[in-house]
Structure 1
Amino acid sequence: MAPVPYRLIRNLMLVAGVLYCSLLLEVAAGFPLDVRTSFLSELGARDQATSPYARFMDLATGVLLLVAVLLARPAVRGQRELTGLLISTAVFGAGTLFDSFSPMDCAPSAGAACRAAEANGQAGASLVLHEITSTLAGIGSIAMGVFAVLVLRRWGWGAAWGKAVGVLAAGVAGTQTWLGLETGYDVLTGNDLHAPGILQRVSVLLVCVMLATLLPGLRHAVSR
């Protein structure tokens, strides 16, 4: 991996993992939303005091990941698993970046009027756009988990870092898929969207740790 700035990419991924962890913002803000019934993305809603900070964190995460992807391209060398991991990281980064530009107008879990507007389809284009960008980021994170496992399966699980990343990647793919199915079912059936707050926070935490440890865990594979 000589032509690739490993340390720089590792540090970019590490910082991205920290910035994506909006649970830290939630703790710093004193848990302004009910963790059981809210989505973390509601911290970025325009009517929330945390909105500027949450949106900046998403923006910075997306930019850092896209820069890391560009820098890591020489390491791929036509390997399908690494190519898939790189593309899925770019999709996740782009979805997170666009999330920062498409916040909800209000946090549904924090007000009855906002919930009523959402239920009656009056939340407007901002909610639809936010759902699209969040879905894009979710798909990207699932694919990242899958391709990370595939890379490890092909090139070996390595030492402790590799095994830890494999467990984290499988956890990300599993919890994000579960989260997507649960919310997607409510949307498709027309039911009120009940935010699985605890599940989402566990899943986001897994994503954060995976981002921060991904490159050290895969170094033995990408350096071949």
Structure 2
Amino acid sequence: MVDESAQIRYRLVQGLMIAAGVLYCSLLLELAAGFPISLRNSMLSDLGALDQPTSLYARGMDLTSGILLVVAAVLARSAARIHRQVAALLISAALLGIGTMFTVFLPLDCAPSLSRACLESENGGRAGFALLLHATFSTVAGVGCVSMAVCVLLILRRTGLGGRRSLIAAAMAGATLVTQIWLVIAIGLQDLKGDDAHQPGIIQRVSVVLVCLMMATVAPGLKQALTRSESLQPVGRSR
């Protein structure tokens, strides 16, 4: 049986993860703002650029989402004692949150997709250094996201948990992993071509939506692990 405190903690973690997923979904802000930047050729970081009217909203959403992820990971830390994969999942969620929070405090000065002068300023000076820092912490968040998806898949494979929620969580984690890898490849190809004016905006937005859905489904899909109702079991012994 699961004790009442574990159930309460689980519900709180679930609520925090869902809220973090909603706030992380920058596409909602784009929709509310009437899509002020190009969906095809811009990155979502342009929404938080200091010269954009969406800057405060975009950074506020990211900051809150990052904080919620870290808090959720801390609240669920007792589940980390079950298995190292669960511990890795919580560390990954915290890493995603921390990386996201730091990008908030290192916003771009301007939106490269809307200004050629801004795009050219990225190549050196203070703007170039700020972009480097922003990209570094975005990479940290990306690593946390990929690691989180891998951990979800490994935990579900190890436990053999069935049910619709687990299958949905596995599908979201798998799709997130594929699109994150696809996004990295697309960005790398653009860099090799030196085509900074045309970024893989569509791929990034699809990936971010899937990340948000993964956040919202990870707790329901891994309820047994997060509530510590029983030790992780091999696939053949699952209920």
21, 27, 30: which is aligned to 1:26? 30
Q: 1:78, CA displacement in angstroms?
A: 4.4
- Aligned residue in 2 for 1:106: 110
Say yes or no: does 1:133 pair with 2:156. no
Query: Secondary structure, in 3 states, of the residue corresponding to 1:31?
Result: coil
Aligned counterparts of 1:220 and 1:74: Cα–Cα separation in 2: 13
Number of residue-to-residue matches in the alignment: 222
Q: Tell me the amino acid that sits aligned with residue 170 of structure 2.
A: G
Q: Write out per-residue CA displacement over residues 97-124 of structure 1, whole angstroms, 9 at most, x where no aligned residue.
A: 1111111111110111111222x33433
Question: Which of the numbers 199, 205, 208 marks the counterpart of 2:203?
Answer: 199
| Conservation of the 8 A alpha-carbon contact between 1:16 and 1:61 | yes
- Aligned equivalents of 1:139 and 1:153: distance in 2? 21
Name the SS for the 2:222 alignment partner: helix
- Between the aligned partners of 1:192 and 1:53, the Cα distance in structure 2 is 29
| Normalised TM-score (structure 2) | 0.88
The offset of 1:183, in angstroms, is 1.3
Quote the Cα distance in structure 2 between the aligned partners of 1:99 and 1:71: 24
Say which of 57, 62, 76 aligns to 1:58: 62
Q: Who is 2:124 aligned against?
A: 121
For residues 34-183 of structure 1, the aligned pairs below 5 Å read 34-118=38-122, 120-122=123-125, 123-183=127-187
Secondary structure of the 1:182 match is helix
Q: 1:165·1:214 contact (CA, 8 Å) conserved in 2? A: yes
Residue identity (%): 51
Q: Point out where structure 1 has 5 or more consecutive residues left out of the alignment.
A: none
The alpha carbon displacement at 1:185 in A equals 4.1
Question: 1:190: how far off?
Answer: 6.9
**Contact kept in structure 2, 1:92 and 1:137, CA below 8 Å:** yes
Look at both structures and tell me which one has the larger radius of gyration over its CA atoms.
2
Say whether the 8 Å CA contact 1:156–1:221 is kept in structure 2: no
CA contact under 8 A between 1:142 and 1:173: conserved in structure 2? Answer: yes
Is the contact made by 1:63 and 1:93 (CA closer than 8 Å) also made in structure 2? yes
3-state SS in 1 of match to 2:11: helix
**Residues of 1 paired with 2:165 and 2:21: CA distance?**
16
Structure 2: distance between partners of 1:190 and 1:132? 21
> What do residues 185-213 of structure 1 show as CA deviations (whole Å, max 9, x unaligned)?
444x3723331111111000000111111
Moved over 4 A (4+): none
- 1:71 and 1:177 mapped to 2: Cα distance? 30
User: How far, CA to CA, are the matches of 2:77 and 2:40 in structure 1?
Assistant: 40
**2: CA distance, partners of 1:73 / 1:221:** 11
Evaluate the alpha carbon distance shift between residue 131 and residue 190 of structure 1 in structure 2; reply closer, same or farther with a 3 A threshold.
farther
Distance in 2 separating the partners of 1:151 and 1:78: 11
Aligned-residue RMSD, C-alpha: 1.4
